[in-house]
Every structure is written in structure tokens, then in C-alpha cells.
């Protein structure tokens, strides 16, 4: 029962965090009065560092629940694998690059424009779609099982 609940709840909790922080908080903070680019970037570095740690925990819980209670069909397992792969790429590659760029901007020595931020947005957009689809498919599967 616990693993069924986790397979439904974790994708939606994770989805809410990514939508709330990456797609709402991140751009809005720069519109607040008195927030300079360096200050906004400093806040963003802190927020995205914590978000990444929470995402890693959620991914581990989700992977463990899928190992313990294998969903029917391969689509859910494939979704979890792609979501986990995107998170690994963000953690090991994109976030360090974005963090270094933010440090350069804060120090006033910004490098030329980089598409790394766009890649991060694309990765998060794909994660949002997959997390929603995974949550819905797990809810359908497990709620049908309970009835």
C-alpha cells in the first residue's frame, strides 16, 4: 500500500515543486522592487541548490518504490528512467555550468550569452510533462487496483 501511495504522490509533489520554483518563483523574483540581477542570481543559486537536493531525494524514493512494486506496463518505468536521467544531467552538468555563470555575473565578469539556461528550461519542461503523465498513469493504475 505504501509503495502505491508513493508512486502516486511523489510525481505530483515533485511536479508542484518544479512548477512553483522553476517556472513561477525564478522569473518573478526579478520583477520584485529592489531586486538586482546579482541579488536575484544569488537567491536563485540557493533555491535551485536546495530544489536539486529535494529532487534527488524524490527520485530515489520513486525509483525505490518502482523497484519494490513494479508498475504494470513499461511506460511508467521508462518515464521514471528518463526523469532520473534528466535529473542526473542537471545535477552533474547543467547546474554547475549555471552556477559558474551566475558567479561570473555577480562578480561583474559575465561571459558571452550561453544557451545553458535554455537547455535547463527544456529539461525541466520535459520533466514536468513526464511527472504529470507518470502521476496520472500511476493514479489510474493503483486506484483501479483498489476498486
CA distance 48 to 95: 8
Query: Into how many domains does the chain fold?
Result: 1
Are the C-beta atoms of 135 and 12 separated by less than 8 Å?
yes
Question: Percentage of residues in the chain with pLDDT exceeding 70?
Answer: 97
Whether residue 147 has pLDDT greater than 60:
no
Kindly report, residue by residue over 113-137, the tens digit of the pLDDT.
789 999 999 999 999 999 999 999 9
Kindly report, residue by residue over 39-80, the tens digit of the pLDDT.
999 999 999 999 999 999 999 999 999 999 999 888 999 999
List C-alpha distances in Å: 7 to 45, 130, 132, 145: 29, 13, 12, 13
Domain that holds residue 52: 2-146
Amino acid at each position: 500500500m505504501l509503495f502505491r501511495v508513493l508512486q502516486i504522490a511523489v510525481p505530483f509533489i515533485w511536479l508542484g515543486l518544479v512548477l512553483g520554483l522553476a517556472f513561477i518563483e525564478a522569473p518573478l523574483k526579478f520583477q520584485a522592487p529592489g531586486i538586482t540581477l546579482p541579488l536575484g542570481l544569488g537567491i536563485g543559486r540557493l533555491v535551485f541548490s536546495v530544489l536539486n537536493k529535494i529532487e534527488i531525494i524524490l527520485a530515489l524514493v520513486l525509483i525505490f518504490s518502482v523497484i519494490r512494486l513494479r508498475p504494470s506496463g513499461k511506460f511508467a518505468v521508462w518515464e521514471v528512467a528518463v526523469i532520473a536521467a534528466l535529473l542526473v544531467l542537471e545535477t552533474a552538468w547543467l547546474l554547475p555550468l549555471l552556477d559558474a555563470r551566475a558567479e561570473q555575473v555577480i562578480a561583474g565578469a559575465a561571459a558571452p550569452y550561453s544557451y545553458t539556461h535554455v537547455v535547463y528550461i527544456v529539461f525541466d519542461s520535459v520533466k514536468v510533462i513526464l511527472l504529470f503523465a507518470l502521476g496520472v498513469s500511476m493514479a489510474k493504475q493503483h486506484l483501479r487496483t483498489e476498486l
